[in-house]
Structure 1
Amino acid sequence: MFTHIMIGINDLERSRRFYDATFTALGGKPGEMDARGRLIYIHDGGRLMITTPIDGKPATAANGGMIGIAAASRDHVLAWHAAGTTHGGTAIESPPTERPNGDFVAYLRDPDGNKLSVRSHSTK
């Protein structure tokens, strides 16, 4: 259904440090800058784009919005959470935890306040 997700940010280099660290922790690669100055992360068929707003106004986080990212394992979720908090993210909700269905999940806000969740699916 989706071709990509785009997140508006205010400080490209600060966001690059955060997203490079968190996607590397999931086994992905650092973002690549396109000709229009957007960071692009491609991993497991998904595409996340990071950009300053085209209208020149400040970026704001979506109230009630969240982006869910798949992780291969519980260890990847923990590495993502650690990389994110080390690189300007804020831990929110609960500490990384197992859900009743066996999934392991963690939540962060990126340096601009965008809410992110990473989840590894149970093998139960």
Structure 2
Amino acid sequence: MFTHVMIGSNDLERSRRFYDATFTALGGKPGEMDARGRLIYDHEGGRLMITTPIDGKPATAANGGTIGMGAASEAHVLAWHSAGAAHGGTAIETPPTERPNGAFVAYLRDPDGNKLTARTKAVR
């Protein structure tokens, strides 16, 4: 259904440090800058793109929005959470935990305030 997710940033180098750390913790690769100056992360068929807003106004986080990323294991979720917190992210909600459906999840806000989650597949 989705081809990609695009979010705004007010500081692409700060975003690069955060997302390079979190994507490599999930087994992905560091992002690449395209010819238009957007950071692009491809991982397991999904694409996350980060750009400064084209209207020249400051980037803001979506109120009520969450971007979810799949993780292969609980260890990947924990590594993602640790890498994000160490690279300008903010731990939010509960500590990394197993949910009633068996999924192991963690939540962060990136340096621009976007809400993210990494999670394993539900087992129940």
Instruction: Give the TM interval when normalised to the shorter protein.
Output: over 0.9
Matched, 1:15 2:4: no
CA RMSD of aligned residues (A): 0.8
Deviations 1:78-107 (A, max 9, x none): 000000000000000000000011100000
Quick one: which amino acid aligns to residue 23 of structure 2? F
Matched, 1:74 2:68: no
The corresponding residue for 2:100 is: 100
Question: Distance in 2 between the 1:4 and 1:52 partners?
Answer: 16
The corresponding residue for 1:89 is: 89
Question: Distance in 1 between the 2:82 and 2:40 partners?
Answer: 22
Deviations 1:37-93 (A, max 9, x none): 000000000000000001111000000011011000000000000000000000000
The corresponding residue for 2:31 is: 31
TM-score (norm 1): 0.98
Question: Distance in 2 between the 1:111 and 1:122 partners?
Answer: 28
Unaligned runs of 5+ in 1: none
Question: Distance in 2 between the 1:33 and 1:122 partners?
Answer: 33
Contact 2:101 2:123 in 1 (8 A): no
Unaligned runs of 5+ in 2: none
* Identity fraction in percent: 83
TM-score (norm 2): 0.98
Question: Distance in 1 between the 2:61 and 2:26 partners?
Answer: 23
Q: How many residues align?
A: 124
Question: Distance in 2 between the 1:122 and 1:58 partners?
Answer: 37
